[in-house]
Amino acid sequence: MSVNFFVNGKTSSEVRAALCGLSAIAAGFISGFLGAGGGAVLLLALRAIYGREAKTPYAAALCVTLPTAALSAAIYTVKTGLDISEAIRFIPFAVIGGVCGALFMDRAGSRTLETVFALIALTGGCAALLR
Amino acid sequence: MKFAVCFLTSALIGAGVGGGGLFTVYLSLSGAASQLTAQGINLLSYIFAAAPASALSYRRYGPDLRLITFLSFCSVIGCVFGALTAPAVTDDALRKIYGAFTAAAALFVLMRRRSLLRLG
């Protein structure tokens, strides 16, 4: 049985679907295990599969991370006894911050923000690793 | 302070830059919560921070609903395994894994940014 992985130099739809599925499972695992990062992994994978120019990856990754995060949060609450009353206090700040960010998105230099975010994340990540 | 960090990281999430990981790092390193609790709080706040950006990008780009449903299904399967595995790891090990992942992701972004600059 021969599987046609590539059609005219492009990934065939079946292989693309399989890669998307595997990437989503991996992203979901990271999201559940670390409580973050799944969206970034999925975005990276979808960009590799669909190409950098496609607009699908970003919106799809963002939409997929929401139900994943909701389920992860539910499991964390049940399995780790997460104090919901403590966590709920952060929600208003998250909502206002999210709305401000979404409105700011059109005007912000996303590349600059990305670099600043990466530098802070690198510092924080190293601090967590070395502590 | 932790509410200000929540606001700032949520703004980064809303802007589509990312930032959920930073809130966990802050909560964990400042001693405000254990690594596992920090991850749980971060997940909950992420849902509310990402919702506006998701709605906006969905309206703007109109991604394929079938693709989103398929990816969500696969992602949920992985997430169940991940969320059930996390409590089995010690808090210290989880923080180190988290730190390594965050640092690696940040390095990747910086390297990609550098190569894009070089390409002009």
DSSP assignment letter at A36: S
Beta strands at A6-7 and A10-11: parallel, antiparallel or unpaired: antiparallel
**Kind and range of the H or E element at B24?**
helix B20-29
Are the C-beta atoms of residues A37 and B101 closer than 8 Å to each other? yes
Instruction: Round to whole Å and give the CA distance between B67 and B63.
Output: 8
Residue-range domain boundaries for chain B: 2-119
**How near does any CA of chain B get to the CA of A7, in Å?**
21
Across the interface, do A119 and B110 touch by the CB < 8 Å criterion? Answer: yes
**Measured between CB atoms, which of A34, A55, A105 is closest to B98?**
A34
For residue B97, the tally of other CB atoms under 10 A from its CB is 17
Q: Which two tokens stand for residue B56?
A: 């906006």
pLDDT surpassing 60 at residue A108: no
A94 closest CA partner among B82, B58, B53: B53
**Measured between CB atoms, which of B15, B29, B75 is closest to A104?**
B15
Residues B72-100 pLDDT 10s: 999 999 988 888 888 888 888 888 888 88
Q: Does A18 contact chain B (CB < 8 Å)?
A: no
B4 against A124, higher pLDDT: B4
Across the interface, do A129 and B100 touch by the CB < 8 Å criterion? Answer: yes
A114: Cβ contacts below 8 Å, ≥ 6 apart: B17, B18, B109, B113
Q: How far is CA A5 from CA A11, A47, A129, in A?
A: 6, 18, 40
Q: How confident is the model at residue A47 (pLDDT cuts 50, 70, 90)?
A: confident
Across the interface, do B17 and A114 touch by the CB < 8 Å criterion? Answer: yes
The C-alpha angle with vertex A58 and arms to A57 and A63, in degrees rounded to 5, equals 100
| Greatest extent of chain B over all pairs of C-alpha atoms, in Å | 46
Which range is least confidently modeled, A37-41, A117-121, B3-7, B35-39? A117-121
- Which pLDDT belongs to residue A3? 42
For residue A18, the tally of other CB atoms under 10 A from its CB is 13
Across the interface, do B49 and A101 touch by the CB < 8 Å criterion? Answer: yes
The predicted complex's ipTM stands at 0.80
Q: Which two tokens stand for residue A22?
A: 């595997």
Chain B CB contacts of A126 below 8 Å: 99, 103
Instruction: Round to whole Å and give the CA distance between A110 and A37.
Output: 18
- Which pLDDT belongs to residue A111? 67
DSSP string, B55-101: HHHHHHH---HHHHHHHHHHHHHHHHHHHHHGGGS-HHHHHHHHHHH
B26 closest CA partner among B53, B52, B8, B11: B8
What residue of A is the nearest CA neighbor of B59? A59
**Kind and range of the H or E element at A11?**
strand A10-11
What residue of B is the nearest CA neighbor of A123? B103
> How far from chain centre, in Å, is Cα A44?
9
Query: Which parts of A3-109 fold into alpha helices (H)?
Result: 13-34, 38-50, 56-80, 84-88, 91-104
pLDDT surpassing 60 at residue A107: no
